[in-house]
Amino acid sequence: MDGCINFCVLLFLLLLFSYGCYAIWDSEQIYAAGNAANYQVYKPSEESELSFNDLKERNPDVLGWLNVYGTKIDYPLLQGEDNQKYISTNAQGDYSLAGSIFLDYRNTPDFSDFNTIVFGHHMEKSAMFGDLERFFNQDFFDHHKYGNLYFDRKDHGIEFFAFMEVDAFDSSIYTTPIRQIQAKQEYLERIKEQSKYYRDVGISIEDHLILLSTCTENTTNGRHILVGRVTDEVFPEPKESNKRLGKEVFFQSGTFQQKLKENWLVVCLFSFLIIVLFILYLSKKRTLKKDGENE
């Protein structure tokens, strides 16, 4: 009877260990899939557009590229027939819980609307729009004012001027596109009123706004939105941005996989040792019990 109980306990521990290992592995896979470094090979450059065009051929929904300086937000931009598709589909068109960075389906892909809304998951390890939460710090907001937006085969600048924390169902912010002159003015006033941080850069109804939206756990149904205007002037990328992303390039190479394997080996060996010690303990316990019965 004791042997059966011991076997059941051991089996339970093995199942618990297996489930824990799978959960860790699955989580790492999601974060790795959403890392910006995975897409750098497709990023358009002055030298060549071939890789970017290759991505567009694979998935015609790809329309541009977004880079927020000083963060790891450096991804292809997509747009689907609704706002559901790219919540769980990557830029290559494959299923992925990390999803993609995508425009609201109601917006025009050339950013000619007054307000264009861009969505992305809030993920740990700075994946997707995870780094938007860094703008919650005023010092970071004050020192990171620019980004780059590539579409229609050329670069455009982004000048960020507001950071908001709003409700996901706030229609006064999430209505797009705004077309009426009065509605545009009210929209700008609403942004200023709702902003946690705001820079006066002379925004007018003639500008084209871009709103980067992601989830936040700070409030129920909360959303963080970084607001900027699209400009013809292209702003140079600070060196710190290149260095910061460069440290993460190992995710797209074999280095990340190798480190993951090494960590898994340590975890597995430690777990195996625990199981062996437990088996030895049970064996010794049975031996002592038999010796006691024989006496």
**Which residues are marked as active site?**
121, 215
Structural Rg of the chain based on CA atoms: 26
Bridge partners (DSSP) listed for residue 209: 115, 229
Amino acid in position 105: Y
Q: What are the distances in angstroms from CA 32 to CA 57, 94, 125?
A: 24, 15, 9
Alpha helices in the chain, H assignment, sequence order: 2-33, 50-58, 138-143, 171-174, 181-194, 239-246, 254-294
How far apart (Å, rounded) are the C-alpha atoms in residues 2 and 293? 14
How far apart (Å, rounded) are the C-alpha atoms in residues 46 and 111? 21
Q: Which residues of 267-288 are buried (b: 16+ CB within 10 A; e: fewer)?
A: eeeebeeeeeeeeeebeeeeee
**Is the distance from CB of 226 to CB of 163 less than 8 angstroms?**
yes
Pairing of the two strands 146-151 and 154-167 = antiparallel
**Closest by alpha carbon to 214, among 204, 223, 205?**
223
239-243 contact pairs (CB < 8 A, 24+):
240/70, 241/67, 241/69, 241/70, 241/71
